[in-house]
Amino acid sequence: MTYLEKARDFVENEKPFHLGFLPTEQSNPLTRGMDKVFAGSPEDGVRMLQRVDRNVLEMAKKVLASEAFADFVATGTRVISNGGRIIFSGCGATGRLSILLEAMWRSYAGEKYASHVESIMTGGDYALIKSVESFEDFAVFGARQVADRNMGPADLLVAITEGGETSSVLGTVAEATRRGCRAFLLFNNPAEILKEHLARSREAITNPMVTVLDLSCGPMALAGSTRMQATTSEQLIASAALDAVLRNLSGEPGTVDYAGCFESLLDQVESERNVGILADYMQFECGIYKQGGRVTYFVDDYLLDIFTDTTERSPTFMLPGFKKITDNILPEPWAFARNPLYCTTDAMKRAFGNRLPRCLEWTVEDYSRMVGADSPVTANPPKVSLADMMQIPVGNEPLPSRYATGKDAAVLFSFSAPRGELSGAYNKEAAAFAHTYRLSVPFTPEATRMHVFEHLAVKLMFNTISTGTMVLFGRVAGNWMSYVAVSNKKLIDRAIRLISELGEVDYVTAAETLFRAMEDLDAMPPDKEKPSPVQYTLGLLKK
């Protein structure tokens, strides 16, 4: 098909992926003009971003006190007591959250219960560190991953989808409930809007085997970037539920005021001292990128959390993703994360809660059976196996490409002074870098069994750092992602809407010009960093 035919097909036949009516896809009035605020004062920009996190607190107070949340905890406790599993499923940011929830449980629950929580990530665990394009558009992939986990009536599915409409995640719901499992469905748009507009969402929400937790907390601080407040709210609710389940299984008396603990966390992250620390650091990181350098984070306990943030920068801001150590063609990622204490295999196992990644080993025949022999996925299956993932050098192996420009930075992250072993390993690695930075953010967490608020603190801080850095770098227009990738149908729709608004053209014209731009960009050599499809399209419109 020509680009015009592809554009018209998307406009006319992909209406279930036209999602501009959803609050999570809309612009937040609290952050309008964010690019100008950051340009005037990075500290004021940080405060503007953080203001939207307070919407999560108001939602959490209601949900944590609800019957649905109490049912979530009681059902989870009963399932594990009876030998079953809680299995989280998600895609993109929520898939990475699902992996994190499993890793937290495995790390803190103890040997008796460690194996009773698992996760399903659309595209397999490989997608933690590199996005797997287009997989979220296929419900059948989610269903197959449920079958691969051999779920049955003794298990509980907890499906998480920020928008409430992700096809692959809803596919896990349909297949798990067909197999006799109960399911809890967490999302961030009003359930009534989803039921009215989207048949796939309506089917899941009205399924009698499904209990809904509606975590609606309004538009994102960065329009459409559901890795921010939407996933923060889901991480808070799901990890609080797991913490309560573990307390029940251990017979601990009393309850935890999770909403109060989250409010304390926000107060600390928003303190003048920490606002200044975050603003100073993002100016440093932006400066490294402006001179053509790259940043490598060195971290131990929170490697998985920072993987999530660095991976999500790729589609959000059109940055190069992680690449295999044998790859000499793709450009080097701007931001990367490593554990200097262990080799890659051991670093991966430690990050995943003492297990190896659970990757997809599907064959061409598998894809053909699921989506047909003529599908682009079948014709060019992604390389997402365990062997592929273990070629991403996240351990302490020599990696001179990270400091090859002579302008690169080594950044050590910690909440306070890092333990001596980590500091020593960092010092050894950092000696080869042109720049070093010890990013230490003071924080006194509320104590929980699952370390709920330490992990949430990392998420809040790195959401702010990565977003603010890219605003300063010029990859945000107002409060919109003007450098967003177009790797699935939802992102294509988001890009068309952004082009329509910024280019002052109708949806159809924006779509036709975007598909022309995508054709041009596909013809570029793979060793070059491609420009933003949105920016390229806007350039075409000006011409």
Within a domain: 36: no
Domain final residue, candidates 252, 278, 294: 252
Whether residue 533 sits in one domain with residue 439 = no
Q: Do 314 and 303 form a contact (C-beta atoms < 8 A)?
A: no
At 448-477, the pLDDT tens digits run 999 999 999 999 999 999 999 999 999 998
Domain final residue, candidates 201, 229, 252: 252
Can you give the residue range of the structural domain that contains 489? 3-27+480-542
Whether residue 273 sits in one domain with residue 173 = no
Strand order from edge to edge, sheet including 295-298 = 335-338, 295-298, 409-414, 435-440
Q: CA separation (Å) from 206 to 130, 172, 255, 274, 425? A: 33, 15, 31, 44, 53
Whether residue 267 sits in one domain with residue 246 = no
Residue 501 is encoded by which pair of tokens? Answer: 């608004």
Whether residue 525 sits in one domain with residue 453 = no
Taking Cα atoms as reference points, which of 323, 252, 236, 250 lies closest to residue 60? 236
Orientation angle between helical segments 344-351 and 303-317, nearest 10 degrees: 90
At 289-336, the pLDDT tens digits run 999 999 999 999 999 999 999 999 998 998 999 999 999 888 999 999
Q: Spell out the SS3 assignment of 412-470.
A: EEECCCCCHHHHHHHHHHHCCCCEEEEEECCCCCCCCCCCHHHHHHHHHHHHHHHHHHH
Within a domain: 100: yes
Determine the Cα–Cα distance for residues 448 and 265; give it in Å rounded to an integer: 13
Within a domain: 77: yes
Determine the Cα–Cα distance for residues 423 and 352; give it in Å rounded to an integer: 22
Q: Say how many residues make up the chain.
A: 543
Whether residue 391 sits in one domain with residue 289 = yes
pTM: 0.93
Q: What is the residue type of 304?
A: L
Within a domain: 368: no
Identify the CATH number of the domain in which residue 467 sits: 3.40.50
Residue 522 is encoded by which pair of tokens? Answer: 């596909």
Domain count within the chain = 3
pLDDT of residue 528: 73
pLDDT of residue 532: 85
Q: Which residues pair with 409 in a beta bridge?
A: 295, 435
Residue numbers in the chain where pLDDT is lower than 50: none
Within a domain: 369: no
Determine the Cα–Cα distance for residues 93 and 307; give it in Å rounded to an integer: 11
Whether residue 308 sits in one domain with residue 178 = no
Taking Cα atoms as reference points, which of 191, 486, 498 lies closest to residue 318? 486
pLDDT of residue 417: 66
pLDDT of residue 357: 97
Q: CA separation (Å) from 528 to 328, 473, 522, 524? A: 12, 19, 11, 7
pLDDT of residue 121: 97
Whether residue 191 sits in one domain with residue 99 = yes
Within a domain: 170: yes
Whether residue 326 sits in one domain with residue 207 = no
Within a domain: 312: yes
Q: Do 357 and 125 form a contact (C-beta atoms < 8 A)?
A: yes
Determine the Cα–Cα distance for residues 513 and 536; give it in Å rounded to an integer: 9
Determine the Cα–Cα distance for residues 461 and 512; give it in Å rounded to an integer: 38
Q: Do 228 and 56 form a contact (C-beta atoms < 8 A)?
A: no
Determine the Cα–Cα distance for residues 358 and 354; give it in Å rounded to an integer: 12
Identify the CATH number of the domain in which residue 90 sits: 3.40.50.10490
Domain final residue, candidates 196, 217, 252: 252
Whether residue 67 sits in one domain with residue 192 = yes
- Tell me how crowded residue 182 is: count the other CB atoms within 10 A of its CB: 19
Whether residue 126 sits in one domain with residue 21 = no
pLDDT of residue 9: 94
pLDDT of residue 285: 98
Whether residue 165 sits in one domain with residue 229 = yes
Q: Phi/psi zone of residue 46: left (φ > 0), alpha (ψ -120 to 50 degrees), beta?
A: alpha
Within a domain: 32: no
Residue 411 is encoded by which pair of tokens? Answer: 């950044």
Residue 182 is encoded by which pair of tokens? Answer: 């109960």
- Tell me how crowded residue 258 is: count the other CB atoms within 10 A of its CB: 25
Whether residue 469 sits in one domain with residue 499 = no
Output the CA torsion 238→241→243→247 (10° steps): -170
